[in-house]
Structure 1
Amino acid sequence: MVAANWLGALQSKRWVSVRSLTRFLTWFLVILFAWILGRLVWSFFQPTVAPARWQPAPVVASGNVAAGRDEVPKILAMNLFGRYQKNAPVVEQKQPVKQDAPQTRLSLTLVGLVASNNAKTALAVITHRGKQNTYGIDEAIDGTRATLQAVYADRVIIRNNGRDETLMLDGVDFNKASTPARPASRSDQRQPQPPNRRQSLGALSKKFLRSRSRCLATFDCLR
């Protein structure tokens, strides 16, 4: 009887422990499943946060780099490529003078001129409406919009409203086909040639013989 009671008690206690373990595992799985389900639901309603923007770490400049940066303002102050001027005057390129320009229709008379290779010394004496005046290169002629552009040996070139025109010297006919004569330079002027030495000796000998013959004739007469 005692053995039977002990065997029955052991069997009932073992059954109780297995049932308790099964119940514990069941509740654990239920709680775990509920936690996972809650995380999934919360992920749909949780606001998304933008990731922080990456920024590079500041680099500490070395001594050489800092010294190089100090030299930059000095180099800029030297103005190696010139100083910028906002209101600088615009240099206009001078239009070349047209030598075979047509004859002008202005009532001008070229009385005289001084042709020279140097534009600063070239002059022209022009009469307009009875008033005579002397003009240099790029000077405006009184009473007109024309300016003197070039002075040649027999004509001058004037520029009237941007058009080159020819004004001939008074008394010289206009000829468009021929090019205007340029002022003669020192190299173009003819220099006197020195006389030939033989020719000079021959002339002296002839003069000496003539004077000698005259002297002899005079001496014979005195006798």
Structure 2
Amino acid sequence: MADRADKAIVWMPEVQQRRKCARTLICLLRCFLTLTYLWLMIQAAAVVPLVKEQRKWFLWLRYLNYLITYSSLLTFDVRTQGFVIFVILKMLFRIYQCSRCNFFNPSDEVQGERVPMNKRMFVYFGPYLLMFITCWLASMYVSTHSLMQLIRNVDDIQPDNLCKIIMIILFKLLIMANAITRCMRATILLRIFFDEPGEELHNSHNLGEHLSLFFLT
């Protein structure tokens, strides 16, 4: 029995170290998934359909075809995408401050001072919301303009092209519905953190679990 107890004592630090590494990896994975989700929301809001006219001639007859392609209002270069990621990280950092949770591993200790909910919150959340709303409104305008362009040429319209435009508009509406739901959920959670007494708040979750609570559940 003594030998078994000695072996258990020897192996316990290694088991705890493995669990700590596993929790750290899971936390990093959840943070990455949250960052990816928010980045994809911006890219989805910026997607626009483009209508290209193709004129073909056969002897003296002219055929007018429409080709639907997709583009984005945000260019895929390092500067633009780096700015988008910076804005997302800034917002996630504010959530980390408000939640006062341990970064990697669960803890029963209060992390940091109480962060009040005031107008300065918009310094962190405002840029992302402004970017999302601007991209969504601009893309909806382009989508509606493309739809009207097809409708005006009703004689040359193709049903599959019309369906593509309608599908992208419905997709935009779903993206906005999802964004509104997430904003309401985040506002309620942050309000709960704000109403908790600062000296009695013991947050036993890590950052990855909190970000999953806001965006991935």
Which TM-score tier does this pair reach, normalised by the shorter chain?
A: under 0.3
Higher helix share: 2
Higher Cα Rg, which structure: 1
TM-score with structure 1 setting the length: 0.19
Say which structure is richer in strand. 1
Q: Could you say which structure has the greater relative contact order, defined with CA pairs below 8 angstroms and 6 or more residues apart? A: 2
